[in-house]
Amino acid sequence: MRGVLLAVGLALLAGACGAVRRDQPAGSGATTGAAVVQRVVDGDTIVVKLQQRSEKVRFIGVDTPESVKPGTPVQCFALEASARTKVLLPAGTPVRLEGDVEQRDRYGRLLAYVYRDTDDLFVNLDLVQEGFAVPLTIPPNVAHAGEFAASAATARRTGVGLWSRCPAAAAPA
């Protein structure tokens, strides 16, 4: 009986710790909340104003061709992907950021699923559906991995975006 109570207590504590981590204020690393786009860096990275701070945000689960990575040439369809993100999220656009398990990447960027407030457009998914991005699943951030994979398969099969313009070897890894 004591072992069962201990296990239940530990499970509740673990759940509570997870909830606390996600509900932390933005200054302590949370990736959830309302924000306003300040600028687009490239196809899968934006800068937002989140609780009076500027934060660089990397879209979880997707990868667009590189257009601004130091030491990397501009990749096939990179300029188009960046331009599409600029159309979807011009400066001043209110967005909702939703996190997953990890809150920041190794470069200190917030990791988020990005939703446009005006119409609840799921930007990460839209970029994959339109062929501007490919799935990039990095566990433990896998909440939408299935959706991204299915959408990429459809985009590839129908030849939209980079799937019709770039050789397979040129697609983002």
By annotation, the residues acting in catalysis are 58, 66, 109
Which tokens in the block code for residue 21? 């981590």
C-alpha span between 113 and 128 (Å, rounded): 13
Residue carrying the six token digits 């030849």: 159
Burial of 14 (0-12, 13-18, 19+ CB in 10 A): exposed
Residue 114 backbone dihedrals phi, psi, to 5 degrees:
-110, 125
Q: In whole angstroms, what is the distance from residue 127 CA to residue 114 CA? A: 11
Asked if 49 and 38 count as a contact pair (C-beta separation under 8 A), the reply is yes
Return the closest-CA partner of residue 137 out of 29, 59, 74: 59
Is residue 159 within 8 Å of residue 129, measured between CB atoms? no
